[in-house]
Amino acid sequence: MQDDISREDRLDWYRRMCLIRGFEEEIHNLNKAGLVQGTAHLYIGMEAIAVGACSAMNSADLLTSTHRGHGHCIARGLDTGRMMAEILGRVDGYCGGKGGSMHITDVSRGMLGADGIVGGGIPIAVGAALGVRLKGDLSVVLCFFGEGASNQGSFHESLNLAAVRRLAVVFICENNLWALSAPFAEVTAGGSVANRAGAYGIPGEKVDGNDVEAVFKAVNEAAKRARAGLGPSLLECVSYRWEGHSIFTRQEIRPAEEIQQWKQRDPINRYRARLIEAKTAASEVLGQIELQVSEQISKAIQFAKNSSLPDSETAFRNTYA
Amino acid sequence: MQDDISREDRLDWYRRMCLIRGFEEEIHNLNKAGLVQGTAHLYIGMEAIAVGACSAMNSADLLTSTHRGHGHCIARGLDTGRMMAEILGRVDGYCGGKGGSMHITDVSRGMLGADGIVGGGIPIAVGAALGVRLKGDLSVVLCFFGEGASNQGSFHESLNLAAVRRLAVVFICENNLWALSAPFAEVTAGGSVANRAGAYGIPGEKVDGNDVEAVFKAVNEAAKRARAGLGPSLLECVSYRWEGHSIFTRQEIRPAEEIQQWKQRDPINRYRARLIEAKTAASEVLGQIELQVSEQISKAIQFAKNSSLPDSETAFRNTYA
Amino acid sequence: MRQTSYAEALNEALREEMRRDPLVFVLGEDVGRMGGLFKVTQALLEEFGPERVIDTPISEAAIAGAGVGSALVGTRPVIEFQFNDFMTIAMDQIVNHAAKLRYMTNGMVSVPLVIRAPVCGGISLGAQHSQSLESWFVHTPGLKVVMPSTPADAKGLLKSAIRDDNPVLFFEHRLLYAQTGEVPDEEHLVALGVADVKRTGTDLTLVATGRTVSLALRAAEKLSEEGIEVEVIDPRTLKPLDTHLIFQSVRKTNRLLVASDGWSACGYASEVMATVMEHCFFDLDAPIQRVCPKDVPMPVAGPLQKAVMVSEEDIVSNCRRVLAT
Amino acid sequence: MRQTSYAEALNEALREEMRRDPLVFVLGEDVGRMGGLFKVTQALLEEFGPERVIDTPISEAAIAGAGVGSALVGTRPVIEFQFNDFMTIAMDQIVNHAAKLRYMTNGMVSVPLVIRAPVCGGISLGAQHSQSLESWFVHTPGLKVVMPSTPADAKGLLKSAIRDDNPVLFFEHRLLYAQTGEVPDEEHLVALGVADVKRTGTDLTLVATGRTVSLALRAAEKLSEEGIEVEVIDPRTLKPLDTHLIFQSVRKTNRLLVASDGWSACGYASEVMATVMEHCFFDLDAPIQRVCPKDVPMPVAGPLQKAVMVSEEDIVSNCRRVLAT
Ligand SMILES: Cc1ncc(C[n+]2csc(CCOP(=O)(O)OP(=O)(O)O)c2C)c(N)n1
Ligand SMILES: Cc1ncc(C[n+]2csc(CCOP(=O)(O)OP(=O)(O)O)c2C)c(N)n1
Ligand SMILES: [Mg+2]
Ligand SMILES: [Mg+2]
C-alpha cells in the first residue's frame, strides 16, 4: 500500500464501510426471518477499524480474526455472497455451512479465519508470521482481537513470542469498551491496552477507531516497521459496538446514553461529512456508492438464499486431509 | 513484621541463608548416594530472596512456590527433617513420599505448595488472596516464580486479575537469568520483568536479589501496601543459580565465567562480611551459627534416613477427601 | 411440587447454598451483572454482592487457578465456564492442580471446588461451542464428574457438589436449561455417586446421561408400544460411577445400550461398556452397543448438526439392533 | 542393521525430514542449544540454524498456536513438549484449533502439525510429570495419535507423521529413549494407521502400546514356557485404529487383554474393549480385561510408583485371569 491516500482510496474506504454496515444490518433482518444458522456478532459501529487496517495490507499479507469477524472479511475483499451463504449455513458458503459466522475463512485472500475462542487467533497470527518468514515471504500478519481478549494468557504469550522473534505481526486491539457484559476498566488493569506494549518493548499506540484514516495511518506505519524486520507493534483502536453482543443477545447491560453518544460518533457519517467538506466527493457521488452497495448486498442475500442447505452426508467429510 | 531490622533479625537471616545453602549442598551428596527420589532443583545462590521475602511475612500470611522451592520452605520455617524426608520419598516427609521435592507443602505454615508446573502457582496465589479476603483475614500472599514463568499466560492473567480486584498479593519474580537452557533476554521481550508491572498499573521494582536486606525492604513495602488494601505489586529479584538446572542436569549451557562472576557475589558471604563490618556480630558468633546449622542439617538427614519408604498400600489412599 | 426449569433449579441451588454457607461464592465471566450467559446465576449479585459474585476478566486459566487457590484456603468457589469448550484453556489448573493436590500432599489439603459448564450442541454454534468433553475428566483421578438430566437432579446434585470436599465438574446441557420439571419445595439433596432408574424395564438396559436421558425415555415409550420394555438408567454422577445399579439391571435384562453426547472413542460410553464387559460378560445375550455423536467436530448448519448429534431415532434403532442379536 | 536407540532414531527421523523438506522445522523449549530435554533434537540447531530450530519461551499455549498458524501457511512444524502433562496448557490450540480447522472450513485448510511429547512415569517425577494423556486426543476427532514402541517404529512413524497433512500427536515413552533396537539403514517409513503383530500366538490376544509392548513381550515369553502362546499386537497408531488386525487376532484366539499406560476410565484400553465388544462379541470365550495404571495420580516414592504403574507381573497375572475364565 502507498503512504499517501488517493481519492480512489477514500471513496473505496467509504464504500467498504457502507458495505459492512449494510451487510450487518441485513443479518438482523435475516435473523428475524429465522434464516441465520447459529449466532452472529455484528460489527456495526466499528467499520473504520477493519477498513482502515485492511487497506494497509498488500496482497500477500495475512490476517486473523475473531468471533466478530464480518468487518474484517469485507474489508479484506471477501465475497459478500459467499459470506452471507455461510452465515445462513448454505453449501455455497465459504465453509459449506460447517463453520458459520464465527469461522469464515478465505485463504485465497490471506484471511486465515475468524475464531470462536476469545484470544484463540492471536498465537495463530504469530505462527503465520513465523511460517511466512521461513518460506521467505515478506508478508505481514494483521491480528485482530477485542479488548476482552487482551486479558487472555494467549495475548501475553503471543506478544512476547512475536517480540523476541521480531515477527511481522501488527496486533490490532479493537477496544469497543465492553466484553459481553464486562466494562473495560472493571476487568482490565492498567487502563489501556496500548500501554501493555511496553511490557514487550514494542511500540504501542492508541488510535481513534472511528477514524478510518487514522487507523490506516497507524496500521500502515506498523506494517512498514514489520516489513522492515523491526518486529511487531500493538495498536489499540477505540470504538464501540452499536448492537447487542450477538444476535442472540436480548439483554442490554450498557447505559442507553453511552450507546447514544457513540452513535453520534458514527464512523461512516463522520467520514461522509469529511469527504464532502474536503470536496473529495459530492453528496451525489457518495449516494451513488451507497446505491451500489445496497445492490451488492441484495445480490449477496439472493445468492445466499438461492444456495441450498447442505446435505447431511457432507457432515461426515473433511475431518481429515 | 516490623520495619526496622533488629540484630536478632539479621542473625536469624544469616542463619536461614546458611541453612538453605547447607541443606541444598547435602542433597547433592544424598543424590550421589542414590537416595533422592526423583529430581530436585537446588536454590543455591538465591538464598537472599527467599529469606528476605519470607521475613516480611506475618504468621497468617501465605505463600506459593515453584519447582525450585526448598529455599522458600526453609525461609518460611518448615521443618528441615520432614522436608528432607519428603525429598528422599519417606513416610515422614510432608507428603508421605507422594509429592517429592516439587510438591512440598505445609499449610500449617501458610505454605500452599511447591509446584511442578512453571507458572502453575501464580493463579493459585491470586485465588488464595481472594479466599482470605472473603474469609475476612488480612493475610498477604507471597507468590514466587522464576523469570521463565513470566512468559506464561498464567502470569499475565493472574497479575491482571489481582490488579483489578486489588488483591493482597506480592508477586516475586526470581530472575536467575536462565530458564533451563534459555537465557533471559533471548526469550523475554522488554528486557525486564519488573517493567511488566506497568501493563497492570501496579508498582514494579527491580531488586538486588543477592542482598537479603534489600529484598526484605522491598517485600515489606509491597506487603504493607497489600495489607492496606492497595493491591498487588511485582518485584523482580535478580540473582543466579549456582548449580545445574536440577540434580538430573549433566550438561551446563551457561558460560563458566558467568557462573564464576556470580559466585563472587555470593549472598551469604556478602552478608557475613557486612555483619562483621557493621559490627553486628563477630566472626565467632557467625561461626557458632554455622555450626548450629550444620547440626540441624545432620539431624534432618538422620531423621529422613531413619524414616522408612512408604508401604505400597499408601499409594491408593488420599486421592479423594 | 412446583414446576421449575433446569436453569432455575440450578439458580436455587446456588442461592440456597450461598445463604447457608458464607464461604460459598461464584466466579466467572458475566456471572454478576448479567446473571450468567444462560441465566443460572441470575440475581445472585444483587443478593450477595460483588465479593461473592465475581465478574472476571476473560482469563479462563486464572479463573480456574483462582478457584483452586481459594478452595485451598477453605472457601468454596463455584466457577462458571460459559461453554465447556473453554475449559481447554484451564486444563492445567483442573487436571494438574485441582485433581492432584490432595493426593500429592497425601491428604494434607483438599480442593472443594465446583466447575459448572454447559456441554454439547443443538443451537448451531459450531465446533468450538458444542463439545461434550466430560470423558476427559472421567479419565482423570481426583475429579468427580456430575451430569444431571432433570431440574430436580440438577438442584440436588449441585447442592451436594458444593458441599463435597473434592473438585467436582458439573456439566449441564444447554438444551435442558429451559426444560421444566417437579422440584421438591423442601431441602433437596441428591447424593453424588448414586445412579437413578428413570424407567424400569425387562428387555434391555439403556444407560443414558444428560440430554440423552429424555431421548432415551421417549425412545422407550415408543418401543413400549411394541411390547419392548426398556430400563433407562441415568448414572447422574459419571465419576464415581454407580456400577452396582447398572450391573444389577444388566443381569436382569441381559442386554445393554449406552447413549452419550460425548464422542465414542475413549468416551464415557466406552467406559460403561468396558466395565460391564469385565463384570457381566456371561450375563450378556448380545454385544453391548453405544449411541454417540458421529466422530466429527460439530458443524453449524441445521441438517449437518442434526446428522451428527444423537437423536431419539438413533436410540430406537440401536435398541432394536441390540435386541435383534 | 545398526543398533540405534529410540532417542537417536527419533533424532534421525527429524534430521532426515528436515533435510528433505526445507519447510519442516522444530520448535519448543530447550530444543536448540540444549538439544531437547531428552536429546531428541540434539545437534539440529547446528545443522539447520535458529530459524528452523527454535528455542521458545515457556509459553506452551503460544507454542501450540504458533504451530497451528505456521502449519496453516504451509510449513511443517514439529513441536516438542517436554512432558505431555504440559499439553494441558495448550489444549485449546490443539483441540479447538488444530483438530477442527480443516473440518470447520470444509477442507479449505489443513494443519500439518506434529506435536511430540513423552508420556508416563518411571523416574519418580510425580503426578504432574508422569501422566499418559493420549486417550484425550484419541477422543478428539481431527487428530491422529501415534505411540511407537521400538526404535524402528519410532523413526518410521515420525517420518510419516511429519509428511502427514493432519495434526499428529506423537507420544514417546521416556523409559524407551535409551532402549536400542535395529533400525534399517535405508529410508524407513512406517505408515500411520497400521498395527503390527509383535509376536504371534494362538491362546490369547494382547493389545499393548508404547512401553507396555516390551512388558507384554516379556510376559509372553514367560507364559510360553508354560505352553501358553500369547499374540502381542501393537497398534502403533492409536487413532485411526487398525481394527482389522485386532479383530482378526481375536477371532483366532477368542480372548483379549489390553495393556496401556493411560488410566483405565474412558481410556484407550476401554476403547479397544468397546470396539472389540461391538464387533467380535460372539467370538469371545471370556470377558476382555485391561491392565492399566491404578486410578490415582502418580506418586514419587519408588515403591508407590511401582505399585501404580503397569508391570510385567500385572500383565502375566491378567493373562492368566483371562485364560482362566
Ligand atoms: C475463551 C473464550 N471465553 C469466553 C468466550 C465467550 N465470549 C464470546 S465473545 C466474548 C466477549 C469478547 O469481548 P472482546 O474480546 O472485547 O470482543 P467484542 O465481543 O467486544 O468484540 C465472550 C466472553 C469465548 N468465546 N471464548
Ligand atoms: C508448564 C511447564 N513447562 C515446562 C516445564 C519444564 N521446566 C521446568 S523448570 C523450567 C525452567 C523454569 O525457568 P524459571 O521459571 O526461570 O525458573 P528457574 O528454574 O530458573 O528457577 C522448565 C522449562 C515445566 N515444569 N512446566
Ligand atoms: Mg470488546
Ligand atoms: Mg530462571
Asked if residue A223 belongs to a domain, the reply is yes
* B7 in Cβ contact with B58 (< 8 Å): no
Chain C adjacent subunits, 3+ CB pairs under 8 A: A, B, D
**Cα A308 to Cα B35: distance, rounded to the nearest angstrom:** 70
Query: What is the C-alpha to C-alpha distance for residues A238 and A250, in angstroms, rounded to an integer?
Result: 25
pLDDT for res A11: 98
Residue A1's pLDDT is what?
53
* pLDDT band, very low/low/confident/very high, at D225 (cuts 50, 70, 90): very high
The finding on whether B72 has its CB within 6 A of some atom of ligand 2 is no
Q: How confident is the model at residue B1 (pLDDT cuts 50, 70, 90)?
A: low
Q: Does D142 touch chain C (CB under 8 A)?
A: yes
Report the candidate in C3, C119, C24, C1 with the shortest Cα–Cα distance to residue C77: C24
Tell me whether the omega of the peptide bond preceding residue C50 falls within 30 degrees of 0, making it cis. no
The residues, ordered by sequence, that sit 6+ positions from B147 with a Cβ below 8 Å of its Cβ are B173, B174, B175, B176, B177, B179, B184, B188, B193, B236
Q: Which residues of C are catalytic?
A: 129
Please indicate, yes or no, if residue B8 is contained in any of the structural domains: no
**Does the bond joining D240 to the residue before it have cis omega, within 30 degrees of 0?**
yes
Q: Identify the pLDDT of residue B250.
A: 87
Whether B320 is covered by a domain: the verdict is no
Mutate to test the pocket of ligand 2, among D31, D59, D82 (most ligand atoms within 8 A of CB): D82
User: What average pLDDT score do residues A226-234 get?
Assistant: 98
Neighbours of ion ligand 3 (CB under 5 A): A 146-148, 176, 179
Return the residue matching grid coordinates 419445595.
C185
- Residue B40 placed within a domain: yes
Q: State the average pLDDT over residues B233-258.
A: 96
pTM above 0.80, yes or no: yes
Which of B129, B131, B160 is facing C74, going by the closest CB pair?
B131
Whether the per-residue pLDDT at B146 is higher than 90: the answer is: yes
Average pLDDT, chain D: 98
Q: How far is the CA of A244 from the centre of ligand 1 (A)?
A: 13
Is C128 an interface residue toward D (CB < 8 Å)?
yes
How far from the centroid of its chain's Cα atoms is residue A41's Cα? 11
**What does the alpha-carbon distance between residue C200 and residue B37 come to, in Å, rounded to a whole number?**
53
CA distances from A126 to A163, A225, C14, D69 (A): 10, 16, 41, 7
Q: Residue B2 pLDDT more than 80?
A: no
Domain holding B194, by residue range, is: 13-245+255-304
Q: Ligand 4 centre from B174 Cα, in Å?
A: 7
pLDDT tens per residue, range A294-308: 999 999 999 999 999
For residue A99, the CA-to-ligand 1 centroid distance in Å is 17
Gap from D117 CA to chain A (nearest CA, Å): 20
SS (H, E, C) chain C: CEEEEHHHHHHHHHHHHHHHCCCEEEEECCCCCCCCCCCCCCCHHHHHCCCCEEECCCCHHHHHHHHHHHHHCCCEEEEECCCHHHHHHHHHHHHHHHCCHHHHCCCCCCCCCEEEEEECCCCCCCCCCCCCCHHHHHCCCCCEEECCCCHHHHHHHHHHHHHCCCCEEEEEEHHHCCCEEEECCCCCCCCCCCCEEEECCCCEEEEECCHHHHHHHHHHHHHHCCCCCEEEEECCEEECCCHHHHHHHHHHHCCEEEECCCCCCCCHHHHHHHHHHHHHHHHCCCCCEEECCCCCCCCCCHHHHHHHCCCHHHHHHHHHHHHHC
Predicted pLDDT of residue A4: 87
Q: Is pLDDT at B3 greater than 80 in this prediction? A: no
| Confidence category of residue A250, pLDDT binned at 50, 70, 90 | confident
Could you read off the pLDDT of B6-54 as tens digits, one per residue?
Answer: 999 999 999 999 999 999 999 999 999 999 999 999 999 999 999 999 9
Cα–Cα nearest to C210, from C164, C153, C125:
C153
Residues in chain A: 321
Q: Angle between the A283-306 and A7-32 helix axes, to the nearest 10 degrees?
A: 40
Closest partner residue to C266 (CB to CB) among D94, D99, D138 is D138
Q: Are B72 and B144 in contact (CB under 8 A)?
A: yes
- pLDDT digit string, tens, across residues C257-267: 999 999 999 99
Q: Which of C101, C114, C70, C79 is nearest to B62 (CA)?
A: C70
Angle between helices D243-253 and D268-280 (to 10 degrees): 60
- Residue B52 DSSP one-character state: H
State yes or no: pLDDT of A101 exceeds 90: yes
Residues of D in contact with C299 (CB under 8 A): 103
Give the total residue count for chain B.
Answer: 321
pLDDT score of B260 more than 70: yes
Tell me the best of A39, A70, A118, A151 to mutate to test the pocket of ligand 1, counting ligand atoms within 8 Å of each CB and taking the most: A118
Between the CA of B141 and the centroid of ligand 2 the distance, in Å, is: 21
- Over residues A258-276, the pLDDT tens digits come to 999 999 999 999 999 999 9
> Average pLDDT over chain A, rounded to whole?
97
Look-up: residue for cell 514466587? B144
- Between CA C271 and CA C204 the distance in angstroms is 18
Residue indicated by cell numbers 485492511 = A54
Average pLDDT (B224-247) is 98
- Radius of gyration, CA atoms only, chain D: 19
What grid cell was written down for C11? 439458580
Residue B250: inside a domain, yes or no? no
What pLDDT is attached to residue B307?
Answer: 98
Question: Which chain C residues contact residue A316 at CB under 8 A?
Answer: 294, 296, 307
**Residues within a 6 A CB radius of ligand 1:** A 41, 67-68, 116-118, 146-149, 176, 178-180, 245; C 29, 58, 60, 82, 86, 89
What is the per-residue pLDDT across D14-43, written as a single tens digit (0 to 9) for each? 999 999 999 999 999 999 999 999 999 999
| pLDDT at position D201 | 98
pLDDT digits (tens, 9 = 90+) for B74-118: 999 999 999 999 999 999 999 999 999 999 999 999 999 999 999
Closest CA to D97 of C86, C266, A100, C128: C128
Is B3 contained in some domain? no
Residue B46: CB within 6 Å of ligand 2? no
Query: Which ligand ends up closest to the CA of B148?
Result: 2
List D129, D173, D188, D279, catalytic entry: D129
pLDDT in tens, C58-79: 999 999 999 999 999 999 999 9
**Is B137 a member of any domain?**
yes
Other beta carbons less than 10 A from residue D23's beta carbon:
18
Mean pLDDT of chain B: 97
Q: Beta-carbon neighbour count of residue D245 at 10 Å?
A: 18
B interface test, pick of D300, D309, D311 with most B CB neighbours within 10 Å: D300
Which residues are bridge partners to C259 per DSSP? C208, C291
What pLDDT, on a 0 to 100 scale, did the predictor assign at position C324?
Answer: 94
- The number of beta carbons lying within 10 Å of the beta carbon of residue D244 is 10
Q: What is the atom index within ligand 2 of the atom nearest the CA of D30?
A: 23
Q: Dihedral (C-alpha) B189, B246, C94, C89: value to the nearest 10 degrees?
A: 30
CATH number at residue B201: 3.40.50.970
Percent of chain D with pLDDT over 70: 100
Instruction: Examine residue B2 and state whether it is found in any structural domain, yes or no.
Output: no
Q: Give all domains of chain C, ordered by start, each with its CATH number.
A: 2-183 (3.40.50.970), 196-324 (3.40.50.920)
Q: Is C34 on the interface with D (CB under 8 A)?
A: no
Q: Three-state SS string across A5-57, please?
A: CCHHHHHHHHHHHHHHHHHHHHHHHHHHCCCCCCCCCCCCCCHHHHHHHHCCC
Q: What is d(CA C101, CA B226) in angstroms, rounded to the nearest whole number?
A: 27
Ligand 1 test: best mutation among A46, A67, A174, most atoms within 8 Å of CB?
Answer: A67
pLDDT in tens, C206-238: 999 999 999 999 999 999 999 999 999 999 999
CA of C98 to the centre of ligand 3 (A): 31
With vertex at residue B77, the alpha carbon angle to CA B7 and CA B79, rounded to the nearest 5 degrees, is 135
Neighbour-count burial of A106, counting CB atoms closer than 10 A to its CB (0-12 exposed, 13-18 middle, 19+ buried): buried
Strand order in the sheet with D168-173: D53-55, D24-28, D76-80, D114-119, D168-173, D144-146, D237-239
pLDDT in tens, B184-216: 999 999 999 999 999 999 999 999 999 999 999
CA distance D322 to D254: 10
Predicted local confidence at residue A2, as pLDDT: 57
The alpha carbons of chain C give a radius of gyration, in whole angstroms, of: 19
What is the C-alpha to C-alpha distance for residues A119 and A125, in angstroms, rounded to an integer? 11
Q: Residue C1 has what pLDDT? A: 78
User: CA nearest A266: which of A6, A3, A17, A13?
Assistant: A17
| D202 interfacial to chain A (CB closer than 8 Å) | no
Query: Residue D109 in 3-state DSSP?
Result: coil
CB D135 within 8 A of CB A312: no
Please, which pLDDT band fits residue D2 given cuts at 50, 70 and 90?
confident
List chain B residues with CB under 8 Å of A159: 189
If you search the block for the grid coordinates 470504538, which residue do you land on? A239
CB contact under 8 A, D274 and C288: yes
Tally the domains of chain B. Answer: 1
The predicted model gives C159-165 an average pLDDT of: 98
User: Is C75 an interface residue toward B (CB < 8 Å)?
Assistant: yes
